[in-house]
Amino acid sequence: MLQLITAMSELGAGTRGSSLGYAAIRGASFHIQPKFFRSLAPRKVQTNNALLYRHPESPYGKRIRGIVRMYRRISAVVAESLDDGQFPIVISGDHSNAGGTIAGIKQASPLSRLGVVWIDAHADLHSPYTSPSGNMHGMPLATAIGADNVACKINDPSPITVDAWQKLKGHPQRVKPSDVAFIGLRSTEAPEDHLIAEHDMRVHRVEELRSKGVVAIVKSVMTQLQECDMVYVSFDVDSMDPSISDGTGTPVSDGFTLEEARGLLELFADEPKVMCMEFTEINPLLDNGGNAMGTAAFKLLQSTVFRLQERLGLRGSF
């Protein structure tokens, strides 16, 4: 069965409001499918968002010790859901939470090889050694592959920050860089480009998708990840073009249309190895179109859930 998990922490973001992402999606559902969340009730992960009222203790890993606690909480819930034979669908605040989801998947299946599909305008491969902002939502994938990237070091993080960073990475490495596929990537910085080139990480640009088609891109990704035992799909709404909505913290032009995003999510939902999906960075406080992003995100969630129901033989249970 499907298990909706909400992890509405926004400790890793540079702007406020992504903690309201689930509320925005739920609000949109009343106008589209009012009964949707009646049967898909969420399991809520406790947040530490009160830390936002305190001054960050580290400029290079802002609120990193709070992020450590969120990793632990999210990973415990995700792992328990998988152990119970459920398919976790995570709605999270900022993208730092995805690191906790990945940790939970590996906690449930430590000997299995995990592939990651990162549908995002950003690579999120920074570390406290390389981040120009110190915002942790730019670092979750680096924790998953265990990358400090000291070759591109620009910062000298404190011992407290380094200790917390080691806890976020965990041991052993959760995901091999060769088992990461980026889709929609179009806003990176030099340290991230260095890692992508060093590990020859696969990147599918927006123009490639439009040239080859959604089906070909999904097929290429699944071929790349064919040696993986399981696959996790992380969908950041900023992978879509800002013309759809301003309701995300780091919008980047020339992104996917709603239909392109829908196609990607539905096709990945059809794949038997995909066993967890996440929707993140929905920020209604930045939305200039009413609840446009909440509405768009709900439509994507709705179509994804329907495809998962069909794949898992759950049609009619919602």
pLDDT at 317 over 90: no
In-domain check, residue 196? no
How many CB atoms neighbour CB 85 within 10 A? 8
- Phi/psi zone of residue 187: left (φ > 0), alpha (ψ -120 to 50 degrees), beta? beta
Per-residue model confidence (pLDDT) at position 216: 98
pLDDT at 226 over 90: yes
In-domain check, residue 307? yes
Per-residue model confidence (pLDDT) at position 192: 98
Average of per-residue pLDDT across 285-307: 94
Of 316 and 47, more confident: 47
Number of domains in the chain: 1
In-domain check, residue 77? yes
CA-CA distance, 59 to 156, in Å (whole number)? 10
Average of per-residue pLDDT across 291-318: 90
CA-CA distance, 243 to 245, in Å (whole number)? 5
In-domain check, residue 257? yes
Per-residue model confidence (pLDDT) at position 147: 98
Q: How confident is the model at residue 107 (pLDDT cuts 50, 70, 90)?
A: very high
**Of residues 168, 175, 261, 267, the one with CA closest to residue 221:** 267
Report percent pLDDT > 90 for the chain.
Answer: 93
Average of per-residue pLDDT across 142-157: 98
Q: How confident is the model at residue 7 (pLDDT cuts 50, 70, 90)?
A: very high
How many CB atoms neighbour CB 192 within 10 A? 25
- The one-letter amino acid code at 309 reads Q
Q: How confident is the model at residue 315 (pLDDT cuts 50, 70, 90)?
A: low
Per-residue model confidence (pLDDT) at position 250: 82
In-domain check, residue 152? no
Could you identify the residue written with the tokens 């709900």?
Answer: 298
Structure tokens at 147: 């990358």
Per-residue model confidence (pLDDT) at position 249: 75
Q: What is the pTM of this model?
A: 0.97
**Over the Cα atoms of the chain, what is R_g?**
18
Among 69-78, 165-174, 243-252, which stretch is predicted with the lowest mean pLDDT? 243-252
In-domain check, residue 133? no
Question: Quick check: helix, strand or coil at residue 181?
Answer: strand
CA-CA distance, 153 to 141, in Å (whole number)? 17
Per-residue model confidence (pLDDT) at position 316: 55
In-domain check, residue 131? no
Task: Supply the mean pLDDT for the chain.
Answer: 96
In-domain check, residue 161? no
Per-residue model confidence (pLDDT) at position 296: 96
CATH number of the domain at 53, please: 3.40.800.10
Average of per-residue pLDDT across 110-119: 98
Question: Quick check: helix, strand or coil at residue 43?
Answer: strand
- On whether the CB atoms of residues 1 and 314 are closer than 8 A, the answer is yes
Q: Which domain holds residue 57?
A: 2-124+176-188+201-312
CA-CA distance, 129 to 262, in Å (whole number)? 36
Could you identify the residue written with the tokens 């030099």?
Answer: 190
Among 12-26, 116-130, 287-301, which stretch is predicted with the lowest mean pLDDT? 287-301
Average of per-residue pLDDT across 30-47: 94
Per-residue model confidence (pLDDT) at position 279: 98
